[in-house]
Chains A and B, each alone.
Chain A
Amino acid sequence: MSPNASSSAPPRALKVVIAGGFGVGKTSIVGSLSEVPPLRTEAKMTSASIGIDDTSKIDRKTTTTVAMDFGRITIDRSLIMYLFGTPGQDRFGFMWDDLVNGAIGAMVLVDLRRIDDCFDAVDYFENRSIPFVVAMNVFDPAVQYPEAVVRDALSISDHVPIVSIDARDRGSAKAGLLTLLNVLVSRKTGAPTGDPARV
């Protein structure tokens, strides 16, 4: 057995969530960043209510099995970051609380050809005050808009960065994750209680 198993404190987990519509590149970005090939597990999730568009089933508990992809980045001996790709969000909210509780932040991936696929994710993180960044994946170079237009379409505030990435490229995925981490830093340094100098 490895010598570190019982002697030292186990690492803490840091959780980052990758959200967005179907096929938008969630698994790709997990794979680009993870030190191990993306892992997958299935979870049974129960939701008390389902989509508001389906009022006939509103009081019925629904159980769905969803697959989630995740990857890992070992920060050091005391910290391991887990990156969770959310399952498709056709029935948004099924398992998100389980997945998102305790997350340090999120990346919302957007395909500009179907921008409304990410609205639910943006709402979700905004409503819970979870720090997030918006990452646009350029699937079709012919479909590109200035950042201001995208910001307007998403109606997100100026403190939510919008970056352009290729989820399949590690350097690009890293830049997206670093943008999120920098949001966390400015939250700390910007808030009076979070001043690193602690005067």
Chain B
Amino acid sequence: MAYEDDNRLKPRPYFITAGKTRSDFPLEAMVVARQAPTPALRHERRAVVDEVANPMALVEVAARLSLPLGVVRVLLEELSEEGWVDIHTESSTADDLDIDTLLRVIDAVKHL
């Protein structure tokens, strides 16, 4: 596969930030492009940045590009270090949700 030829793809699973192994990005980590891709970005790296012009979860990037989750995690880690994308890992559990947010969610679901 093409990504195996990309010598940038040396896995760096132990890159730690804020006490967290970054390649452990949760499935629902939200990813968004920080800047438009330039021709310097090639192949899968380009495809990822194109895909997240509108924000989407890591798992959705993987599904849409038919890339393994692990590969997408590593690509995103690099792309974020290089300033191409922002990754937001905070999700909301039931306890984090305030009542106003919940009511907004309910309203949106009712109008589906």
The stretch among A113-121, A151-159, A177-185 that forms the contact with chain B is A177-185
Closest Cβ–Cβ distance, residue B21 to chain A (whole Å): 13
Which residue on B lies nearest to A70, using beta carbons?
A: B59
Closest 5 CB pairs of A and B: A39-B63, A13-B28, A102-B91, A10-B55, A41-B63
Closest Cβ–Cβ distance, residue B39 to chain A (whole Å): 15
Tell whether B9 is near chain A: CB-to-CB under 8 Å: no
Interface size on A, residues (CB 8 A): 54
A6, A12, A41, A80: the one within 8 Å of B69 (CB) = A41
Complex Cα distance A79/B109, Å? 12
Can you identify 25 A-B contacts, CB atoms within 8 angstroms?
A: A1-B53, A10-B88, A11-B30, A11-B55, A12-B30, A12-B92, A13-B92, A14-B91, A70-B60, A73-B109, A75-B104, A75-B108, A76-B104, A80-B57, A102-B28, A102-B93, A104-B92, A104-B97, A177-B109, A178-B109, A184-B97, A185-B106, A187-B94, A188-B97, A188-B102
Do A1 and B93 touch (CB < 8 A)? no
Interface residues on chain B, size class? 35 or more
0/1 string, B95-110, CB within 8 A of A gives 1: 0011101111110111
Q: Given contacts A10-B88, A72-B57, A74-B108, list 19 more A-B pairs with CB under 8 A.
A: A5-B53, A10-B31, A14-B91, A15-B91, A70-B60, A75-B105, A79-B105, A80-B56, A82-B27, A82-B57, A101-B26, A102-B28, A104-B92, A104-B93, A104-B94, A170-B112, A174-B110, A174-B112, A178-B106
Closest Cβ–Cβ distance, residue A85 to chain B (whole Å): 12
Main secondary structure of the interface of B (DSSP, over half): mixed
**Which residues of B are interface residues toward A (Cβ below 8 A)?**
26-36, 52-57, 59-60, 62-64, 68-70, 86, 88, 90-94, 97-99, 101-106, 108-110, 112
Do B102 and A6 touch (CB < 8 A)? no
Q: Using Cβ atoms and an 8 Å threshold, which residues of chain B touch A161? A: none
